[in-house]
Structure 1
Amino acid sequence: MSYTIALNFEDGVTRFIGCKEGETVLDAAYRQKVNLPMDCSDGVCGTCKGHCEQGSFDLGDEYLEDALSDEEAAEGQVLTCQMVPSTDCVIQVPVASTLCKTAVGKLEGTVATVEQLSEDSIELSIDLDEGAELAFLPGQYIHIDVPGTEEHRSYSFSSRPGAARTTFLIRNVTGGLMSGYLTEQCKPGERLGLTGPMGSFYLRELTRPVLMLAGGTGLAPFLSMLEQLVEKGCEQPVHLIYGVNKDDHLVKTEVLDAFDEALPNFTYSTVVVDEASDHPRKGYVTHHMDAEVLHDGDVDVYLCGPPPMVDAVLKHFDEQGIAPQSFHYEKFTPNQAPGEAA
């Protein structure tokens, strides 16, 4: 038996490794040429300390209190030289990937489809090369090279982890480098380079109700998250509020309807800013966060949208005295990766 361990480094790079049953994370990483920090490898120095955000494991009792205190262990801190996983795990590594002599993954794929869904959004799907492995956490993003240039643009996955065909929901920006390529040149069969995955915005283990807030093409990471929940099941209530500027900017609602059917505890609502709209819910997402979706603060909030939206939600929470149990967000701008803009 083998477990998948996601190592999230301080510089935003994520590297996935396989860990054999009974093997420590440190040994598994070294076996796969990822040099995690270490000095002693005996649970004495604490150099290999990290934080396990998700998963089950055994630390044993061979390490010293000076290396890892009981309080740190209770908070999810681990020593990778002692940590033996019993499930898949997600670990925060408090150093840059370059210091561990590992790098972000590079791969290539072929454009399968490119479709303009509305005036401000494009859906791109890419078939990965046969044998290519692209693991990521639902919510993360990747760099996509712009053909004919030395530039790349960064987009969140809208497809589920492990899918051979990856999809992206991309904002159509007037004069944008990638937007111009996709709308004027890109055709099925063309080759694209990808680098990633990256980002600290991803779906954690669901232990309480979840509120998802999406602005425009910030819907993309939530589509990936919901795909994952359909595959793995979900017992907690999950509500998505999806806001756009105009009626015809609402896209993928048929997919959200399918999630509504597939996930008994999932609901969603849409909001349109345009005052001339006939949409039943107008304004901003902050106008439609009713008490029942906030669960008196016993809720995990995920937010992805343009900077003004993120700032408005943060201000709203502060003014209303709302303190969610956890709050994960990222901002994006047309020419910047979500993680880079936060």
Structure 2
Amino acid sequence: MSYNIALNFEDGVTRFVSCNEGETVLDAAYRAQINLPMDCSDGVCGTCKGACRQGEFDLGEEYLEEALSEEEVTQGMVLTCQMVPSSDCVVEIPVPSTMCKTGNAAVTGKVAEVNLISPTSIELKIRVEEELAFLPGQYVNIQVPGTEETRAYSFSSRPGSRDLSFLIRNVPGGLMSSWLVGEARTGDKVTLTGPMGSFYLRPIERPVLMLAGGTGLAPFLAKLEHMKANGCDLPTHLVYGVSTEDDLVCLDILDRFVSELHNFTYVTCVSSTDGDHARKGYVTHHMDEAPLNEGDVDVYLCGPPPMVDSVLAFFREQGITPNSFHYEKFTPSLSAAQEQVA
């Protein structure tokens, strides 16, 4: 038996290694030619210290208190030279990937479909040769064919599949948008680099509030696919805000999640005053169904910078401090900027 270990480096790079039963994370990484920080490898120096954010493991009793204190253990800190996983795990490594003689992994795929699903949104489907591991909510950099430029896009598909999908904003004159709308053909080769990002779904231990702006819906579709596959009995609510009614996409998929995923609900809102949509305004105007629970809630937000700022202001004004708040800002044609407030 083996386990998938996601190594999250401080520069946003994630590398997955396969850890055999009874094997330490440090040894599994070395076997994959990833040189994690280490000195003694005996639980004495603490050089290999990291943090396990998800999964089950055993640290044994061979390490010294000077290397890893009891308080650090209660905070989820680990020594990778002593950590023996008993499930899939997510481990934070507090150094850049380049210091470990690794970096982003590049894979090649082929365009399967390009669909203009609204005047402002493009659905891109790519098929890769091997299943691509990523954490639900992460993104990759996709190279624009014929150029050296890349653009960052969150997966909207479930992890561990050869069939990948992305929601991409159709930016007039944008480099990727122009290629997708005017030149892309089925079978065209594309290069993806990643996965990356800290906006991944944590273990669900309390209600979840999801806030999406525009094509920021993409990572939530991946999270919901993961939740459906693994089960979730806690309330999960999505507030999905767009500029105009034409910008609303994937509502059929969200309706399917309502029927398939226990305790999942969602509402949509439109900021434009034109049209007949029932809910006008921004996501902060439509939080009445949100499971805020006086702060006993995990919040995930993906949208443009003004939306992130307004939501942070909303919680301050309400005097609510969520148990955790994870957000991802994005702007068209620029790489995603991942930020997290625990």
**Partner letter of residue 191 of structure 1?**
K
User: Contact between 1:34 and 1:102, CA under 8 Å: does it hold in 2?
Assistant: yes
**Whole-angstrom CA distance in 1 between matches of 2:181 and 2:56:** 46
Q: What SS does the corresponding residue of 1:293 show, helix, strand or coil?
A: coil
**1:275 alignment partner in structure 2:** 273
In structure 1, the gaps of 5 or more residues are none
1: distance between equivalents of 2:339 and 2:23? 37
Q: Which amino acid aligns with 1:142?
A: V
SS of structure 1 residue aligned to 2:157: coil
Distance 1:140 1:175, change over 3 A: same
Are residues 1:189 and 2:187 paired?
yes
CA distance in structure 1 between the partners assigned to 2:205 and 2:192 by the alignment: 33
Shift of 1:252: 0.1
Q: Which residue of 2 aligns with 1:22?
A: 22
Provide the TM-score with structure 1 as the length reference.
0.97
Contact 2:206 2:234 in 1 (8 A): yes
Question: Which amino acid in the other structure matches residue 307 of structure 2?
Answer: M
Deviation at 1:292, TM superposition (A): 4.9
Q: Which runs of 4+ in 1 moved over 4 A?
A: none
* Superposition deviation, residue 318 in structure 1: 1.4
Q: Which residue is equivalent to 2:255? A: 257
* SS in structure 2 of the partner of residue 268 of structure 1: strand
CA distance in 2, matches of 1:339, 1:95: 18
Indicate the residue corresponding to 1:229 in structure 2.
227
Q: Which moved more, 1:313-322 or 1:262-271?
A: 313-322
Matched, 1:54 2:54: yes
Contact 1:200 1:339 in 2 (8 A): no
**Partner in structure 1 of residue 64 of structure 2:** 64
Query: Letter of the aligned partner of 1:32 in structure 2?
Result: A
Q: Find the aligned partners of 1:6 and 1:339 in 2 and give their Cα distance.
A: 20
CA displacement 1:126-174 (0-9 Å, x = unmatched): 0112xx3411000000011101111111100000001111000000111
- For 2:283, the equivalent position in structure 1 comes to 285
* Residues 198, 338 of structure 2: 8 Å contact kept: no
SS in 2 for 1:112: strand
Match of 2:147 in 1: 149
With normalisation by structure 2, the TM-score equals: 0.97
Deviations 1:5-37 (A, max 9, x none): 000001100000011111111111111111100
Q: Distance in 1 between matches of 2:282 and 2:248?
A: 14
Matched residue count? 340
Question: 8 Å contact 2:326–2:339 — kept in the other structure?
Answer: no
Any conservation in 1 of the 2:299–2:326 contact (CA below 8 Å)? yes
SS across alignment from 2:268: strand
Question: Who is 1:32 aligned against?
Answer: 32
Q: CA deviation at 1:119?
A: 1.2
Once the two structures are TM-superposed, the CA of residue 261 in structure 1 deviates from its matched residue by 0.6
Residue 168 of structure 1 aligns to a residue in which SS?
Answer: strand
Offset of residue 244 of structure 1 = 0.3
Contact 1:12 1:339 in 2 (8 A): no
Residues of 2 paired with 1:264 and 1:198: CA distance? 29
What is the CA-CA distance between 1:340 and the residue it aligns to? 5.7
Residue 341 of structure 1: how far off its partner (Å): 8.0
Contact 1:333/1:341 (<8 A) preserved = no
State the Cα RMSD in Å: 1.1
Residue of structure 1 equivalent to 2:320: 322
Q: Which residue of 1 aligns with 2:309?
A: 311
Question: What's the secondary structure of 2:315's corresponding residue?
Answer: helix
- 1:238 pairs, out of 236, 239, 244, with 236
SS in structure 2 of the partner of residue 221 of structure 1: helix
Gaps of 5+ in 2: none
Contact 2:131 2:161 in 1 (8 A): no
What is the CA-CA distance between 1:335 and the residue it aligns to? 1.5
**Identical counterparts, % of pairs:** 65
